Amino acid sequence: MITQAFDPAACALADLTQHIRETHHTYLRAELPLIWDLLREALAASPAARAEIRAFAQAFGQFRATLDSHLRKEEEILFPFVEQLERTRQAGMPSPRHGFGALALPIEILEAEHALGDRLLDRMRPIWQRWALPGDTPAWQRSLGERLIGLDADMQRHVYVEDAILFPRTIQLEEMPCSSAAGAR
């Protein structure tokens, strides 16, 4: 069980991938459908804002589809390989080889997807920030704005943990000579 004192920079890679799954991926799988449902309700409840909501929903739909695919790649491909790499290297064995070569290649693809997600969030952010403003705004608008601010904060933490900690540590471990890798963390 991962506690509040969890330090992503100091833990084992397997613990880090578990943390990402349990914290960020679980959150996204719960939150994205809720936001989508709120957008559908907003379209029905606010005819005056339909054009803005439709444009936002289109960007959000692209973001969601990209993220769904991205999470599957991490959970089904990268994370199992990272965990296998860590076990193998701790046993003093050479890095396992994969059909796609070094893990740096799928990591590069996932980093590009992070950048795409950031661009899509940047496109949506001005709208949801306006929706989250206090005052005389409809309930759907405040609720969506608040949820999207939470989504943005989680995505920033999630991408930071992967891009700044998990990915570099994985590449470093894979490239480390056998004799050095057995005690690495």
Is 173 domain-assigned?
A: yes
The confidence score (pLDDT) of residue 178 equals 75
For 1, the token pair is 């069980």
For 54, the token pair is 């439709």
Is 2 domain-assigned?
A: no
pTM: 0.88
The confidence score (pLDDT) of residue 182 equals 56
Is 8 domain-assigned?
A: no
Tens digits of pLDDT across the chain (185 residues) = 444 678 999 999 999 999 999 999 999 999 999 999 999 988 888 777 788 888 899 999 999 999 999 999 999 999 999 999 999 999 999 988 888 888 999 999 999 999 999 999 999 998 887 776 667 777 778 888 889 999 999 999 999 999 999 999 999 999 988 765 555 55
Is 121 domain-assigned?
A: yes
The confidence score (pLDDT) of residue 180 equals 58
For 95, the token pair is 């890095």
Is 124 domain-assigned?
A: yes
The confidence score (pLDDT) of residue 141 equals 81
Q: Which amino acid is at 77?
A: I
Q: How many distinct structural domains can be found in the chain?
A: 1
Is 5 domain-assigned?
A: no
The confidence score (pLDDT) of residue 65 equals 96
Range of the domain at 78: 13-178
The confidence score (pLDDT) of residue 127 equals 84
Is 185 domain-assigned?
A: no
The confidence score (pLDDT) of residue 1 equals 45
The confidence score (pLDDT) of residue 45 equals 81
Is 167 domain-assigned?
A: yes
How crowded is residue 85: how many other Cβ atoms within 10 Å of its Cβ?
20
Cα dist from 22 to 37, 88, 158, 179, whole Å: 23, 24, 11, 32
